[in-house]
Structure 1
Amino acid sequence: MQGSPIMGPLVALILAAIFFTTQSDKFLTGANFSLIMQQVMVVGTLAIGQTLVILTGGIDLSNGMIMALSSILTTGLAVRSGVNPILAILIGMAVCIVFGLINGGLVTGIGLPAFIVTLGTYNIVFALVRIYTTSTVTSLPDILLFLGRTFNVGGTEVSYGSVVMIILFIIAWYILRSTPVGRSVYAVGDNPEAARLAGINTNRVLLGVYTIAAVTYGIAGLLLMSRTGVGDPNAGADANLNSITAVVIGGVSLLGGRGHIMGTLIGALIVGVFRNGLQLMGIPSIYQTLITGILVIAAVSVDYLSHRGK
């Protein structure tokens, strides 16, 4: 039940790295790898929550906008309203939790499909962001920029935000692999009726998953503002699709109940490596999007063919 192996995505990542190493002498450097990690840390953190939701058989289309609302609310309160930055962060996180509870409550309480619930939440949060502000918030206090700063490791600058993302993946890996909570998540995604008959409170698991996922969206918002140095109301519009891309390329099944959280990390890195490598080769960004789309279709096709074969 612990999901599909990550060997396939890992091999794909290694092959991609080897290919781009032969195409550019700038690719295989510590500075470039650090840049890739910084580029994927926001989407990678979003993808942790997305993975939890998808493992239960759902999907969250609202995660990018929840992240954007948290980010713009935190920066707006801290800069424009004079709220203590720590309190502003807590308020931003609380808003994420509220929307996580709303998503989980509608899925469990009414039985609405997660796709419809989170699509509606996406539009609601999108409107709330625009109602709050349509302008970029600048001149952020230092504490909101901390995770974007770097420290030196063997001559390579590593951002604190990248470390936070890795730690979150390790925590999620441990919970899913070694705790009853993690086993319940897989059981609900694999067969919710069988999980219920086995004594698992499926509604509580789903509500918890959507709430915890929302916490990761809030953390992603902190990483976003620390990386960009601003609060951007236009951020997050396509982050939901980017997070889903990382999840499916990493081998997590959209049908639920199968997948490995570290596969999601590898999936995010695959996308980051491709975009970085193609950029170093001077290939226009539209082709980067084209190749990413092909990778998604290929990954989902393998998953569905695997299910059909079983």
Structure 2
Amino acid sequence: MKPSIFGYEAPTTLEAAISLLAGDPDAMVLAGGQTLLPAMNFRAANPSLLVDIQHIQGLRGIAVGSDAIIVKAMVRHREFELDEEVKRANPLIAEVMQHVAHIPIRNRGTVVGSLCHADPSAEMPLLLALLGGSVVAQGPSGSREIAAEKFFQSFLTTARNHDEIVVEARFPLLPAGAGWAFDEVTRRHGDYAVVGVGCVLALHRSGRATGVRIAACGIADRPIRLKDAETILNGTTLGPLDLDAAVAASLVAVTQPDDTNVSQSYRRRALGTLIRRMVARAAQRAETVA
């Protein structure tokens, strides 16, 4: 199929782009277009106007700060994946990025675009939620920072207002000595996750886990922090009984119904397996600290 008729504007200033969005409730932002354009071809998306932001100054570049990595709106997935400074500051990012679609798509698609699309089975929303990151949205009333736990609201739905543009995402650095892990179950490599799980944790010299963070995608209408599991595992030696309890507490988070590919019960089994594996892998990578 072909898309419905639409208008196209390529403003060179952020103010002009915001004004175009504010003037047309059916306008949509175009960045990488790797999700939006196929959706338009299937007429799942029918914008009256595309506002292309690629020519706007200030929307490119990555900056590694003392506590977070700032990713501007036009940064491509591949750029984020291959940045050596990013790898040193937070190696979890490169591990997650290898699971995002395929290289040709990562060459064009944008990190912020994936966050704004908010597919609950996508890796980038999970990463932002797992790390406790945020986005910065700018609109007619100014800019505001939105934490990941408030930004992702439901299936393909975020807290971004129609007349706002997300100008950057902020991914926190890994805590010193922390271990990390991410993996997912997919039908084929490059597909959206059936279930994905990420974990970050540190180990005290006593062998007990601290700062445990676990998040999952593909199990609900948004990326989910598994906070009950985190609470159970914090302060433990991550033994079999601890993991059993953490998995049992997490299964209630699986609310995605059966679909043509997998059942809800399969997702629960996959979630349990991935939690055990990712906690173990993160613990192996963690440095023992006082």
TM-score (normalizing by structure 2)? 0.27
- Structure having the higher helix fraction is 1
- Structure having the higher strand fraction is 2
